[in-house]
Amino acid sequence: MNEITLKQQRAEESIRKKFHKQLFTPFAKACKTYQLIQEGDHIAVCISGGKDSMLMAKLFQEIQKHRQCNFELTFLVMDPGYNRENRELIESNAKALGIPITIFESDIFDAVDNIEKSPCYLCARMRRGYLYSRAKALGCNKIALGHHYDDVIETILMGMLHGAQIQTMMPKLHSTNFEGMELIRPLYLVRESDICAWRDYNDLHFLQCACHFTETCATCHEDEETSSKRLETKKLIAELKKNNPYIESNIFRSVENVNLDTVIAYKKNGERHHFLDEY
C-alpha cells in the first residue's frame, strides 16, 4: 500500500472513529436541521485549499456513503492566480486524500491587485460569482462553502460591534444573481478547534491564505501578529469564555431567540419596520 493510500485511509478512518462525534455528527446534524442536502441535488463542493474546505470534501464523501438520499458531488477548485507552489499543494493534498477535484482558472488576483480599498472583500465577492457561474455550467444547483461554527459566532459579534447591526451568517441562501442556485454551509455546527485537531492528528498541511497580499502565508496556522477585526473578535470571545463557558453557544443561540416585541426596529425583505408603527 503506497503512502498516498495510507494518508487517505488514515484521514477517513479518523473521521469515522476518533473524530466522529466532533466532526461527522455536527456535519450530519447541520445537513438535517437546515435541510442542506436533498434528493437529486448536484452540489459543487468549493475547495479553496484550506483545512475547512478540504475536511468538508471528506465529510461529503462520507455522508454520501450512507445513501440516505441520492445526490451528486463535484469537487470544485478555482485557481484565482495561485503561485506554482500553492497550486501544487492543493493538488497534492487532494490526491493524497482521494478527492477528485475539478480545477478551473480565473484572473481574480490580477484584477484586485491594484485595488486599495477593501481588496479582500472584492476578491471574496468575485470568487463567489465565478464559483456560482462554473458550478451552474457543470449542472450543479448548489455550492457548498466551508464556513464553520466559529465563523458564525464571530460574524454575529462583529456585526454588533463594528457594523451596528444584528445579523448572522445563514446556513443556506438563495442566490440573487444565479437563478435556481443555492449556497449551503454544512460545517455550520462544526468547531474550528476540532477541524484543527483532525488536521494535526493526520499531519496534514493546508493553505491558509495564498493571495498576492499574503503570499508568504502558505502554512496552515494563523499568524498571531495578524491585525484584523475577526482576529480581535476571536480573542475577545476566548477572553469572555474564561468567565462564562457558555459564551459561544449563547452568542450562536441569540439569533435564534430574537424577541421582536423588544426590538426598536428591524428590516424584513429590505423594508424597515419600527416599534412605533404598531405602538
As a whole number, mean pLDDT of residues 154-162 equals: 95
CA–CA dist 200, 192 (Å, integer): 12
Q: Is the pLDDT of residue 164 over 60?
A: yes
Q: What is the mean pLDDT of residues 244-273?
A: 96
- Which helix (H) or strand (E) segment holds residue 105: the answer is strand 101-105
Q: What DSSP string describes 8-54?
A: HHHHHHHHHTTTIIIIIHHHHHHHHHTT---TT-EEEEE--SSHHHH
Number of H helices, E strands in the chain: 10, 8
Cα–Cα distance for residue pair 193/190, rounded to 1 Å: 9
pLDDT band at 182 (very low <50, low <70, confident <90, very high): very high
Domain ranges of the chain: 3-218
For residue 20, what is the DSSP state? I
* Strand pairing report for 101-105 and 172-174: unpaired
The DSSP line for 161-196 is HHHS------SEEE-SSSTT-EEE-TTTT--HHHHH
3-state secondary structure of 57: helix
Kindly report the CATH number that applies to the domain delimited by 3-218.
3.40.50.620
Q: What is the mean pLDDT of residues 125-144?
A: 94
Q: What cell does 112 get?
A: 484586485
- The pTM assigned to this predicted structure is 0.90
182-184 and 265-268 strand pairing: unpaired
- The amino acid at residue 91 is E
Structure confidence at residue 3 as a pLDDT band (50, 70, 90) = low
State which amino acid sits at residue 265: A
Q: Decide: 174 and 182 in contact? Cβ < 8 Å.
A: yes
Lowest-confidence segment of 14-18, 37-41, 59-63, 122-126 by average pLDDT: 122-126
